[in-house]
Structure 1
């Protein structure tokens, strides 16, 4: 093992050099966004020569996509477990799902915002999501709704794709409103107000009495 590699892995946790590079890039991404993620900066932070990155990744985009996926997993791990179908009430569980989604999107927005003009990284990130064992939150939300429908706690005819789209969409809107704030005279609802309103609409709809 070279002195540089030995220095990079001196934490002694048994991580491979590839994992060390991903963890380093994830830490830099989390602390300073994507602007500072140059090959030279990542290599310096990781304690390796610049060319070492290309021994483990096809290019910088693959490393950043891997770091981005690791960042999302870290954020999700800190949010705790989602409710299981059939436990508690559907209303309480939907509140938990929506609160989870809003917190997750708020935490990862800075990283994704810096990649809007780098579609190749986002494409690599999507590929990594498909390869991971843990499905993204959208699929887990749909799985939860389907399980509740199978248990008879949601209507058999319920359009679950539409319900999931509403829940996920309000997470996107709520986070984007921090980037493009509403005018002062029409403030966007936040936090508990959003959760209460969306859950009520998902469960009860908006049609008046016939």
Structure 2
């Protein structure tokens, strides 16, 4: 049996009610973050009764996790594409990965701030992702591919290099969150330090 269409959906809208609710919550997160976001508010914005959400999601946390995942995908869609292994120079490509990571983390910070005290939502957010689709996964795959191509040392510790880049981006977000200012970041210096350790 196909999913039931909702009266809240306009004619010509092929989404299911579940998709409509995720899209509505994602839009609300994009516009106002996650702090104070309620089931009642999402239902009202979606044009459905409050209890309808529980027909399509186990609980509010599942809906928030899926909506936050959709928000991250939306933010990523507006960023420049990441470089492919074997193209350009490794240094320029790493700079692009760092810039992408910093821009992504900056953009999702307002939504993330309201979830800091909601570990169950963040755990479901992590579980909702496909393996290899997150920025960190793509960075690690890129580094492994460059190692396989011989553009990095054969014994390059790419897992640790990826963790360093991710850590720099997380530090920037935490600094913004707690002090309201992002630290000065020497991206060229970071890339040089990485390549001194993993370059051929």
Say yes or no: TM over 0.5.
Answer: yes
Partner of 1:5: 6
Asked if the contact 1:9/1:20 (under 8 Å) is kept, the reply is: yes
CA distance in 2, matches of 1:59, 1:19: 15
CA distance in 2, matches of 1:49, 1:179: 35
Alpha-carbon offset, residue 135 of structure 1: 2.0
Asked if the contact 1:182/1:188 (under 8 Å) is kept, the reply is: no
- Equivalent residue of 1:80, what SS? coil
Partner of 2:64: 64
Partner of 1:163: 161
Asked if the contact 1:22/1:67 (under 8 Å) is kept, the reply is: yes
Q: Does 1:199 align with 2:200?
A: no
Partner of 1:115: 115
Alpha-carbon offset, residue 118 of structure 1: 1.2
- Cα distance change on mapping 1:125 and 1:160 into 2, 3 Å: same
Alpha-carbon offset, residue 12 of structure 1: 2.9
Alpha-carbon offset, residue 5 of structure 1: 2.6
Partner of 2:142: 144
Q: Deviations over 1:110-148 (max 9, x none)?
A: 21111111111111111101xx36521111111000100
Partner of 1:36: 36
- Equivalent residue of 2:117, what SS? coil
The RMSD of aligned alpha carbons is 1.9
CA distance in 1, matches of 2:171, 2:150: 31
Q: Does 1:188 align with 2:183?
A: yes
Aligned residues: 193
- Cα distance change on mapping 1:11 and 1:177 into 2, 3 Å: farther
CA distance in 2, matches of 1:56, 1:172: 33
- Equivalent residue of 1:121, what SS? helix
Alpha-carbon offset, residue 188 of structure 1: 2.7
5+ residue gaps in structure 2?
Answer: none
Alpha-carbon offset, residue 181 of structure 1: 3.2
Q: Deviations over 1:61-109 (max 9, x none)?
A: 1100110110111111111321010011101100111100000111111
TM-score normalised by the chain length of structure 1: 0.86
Partner of 1:26: 26
5+ residue gaps in structure 1?
Answer: 206-210
Larger Rg, first or second structure (1 or 2): 1
- Equivalent residue of 1:5, what SS? coil
Q: Deviations over 1:15-68 (max 9, x none)?
A: 111111001001111111112321111000000111111111011111001101
Partner of 1:90: 90
TM-score normalised by the chain length of structure 2: 0.90
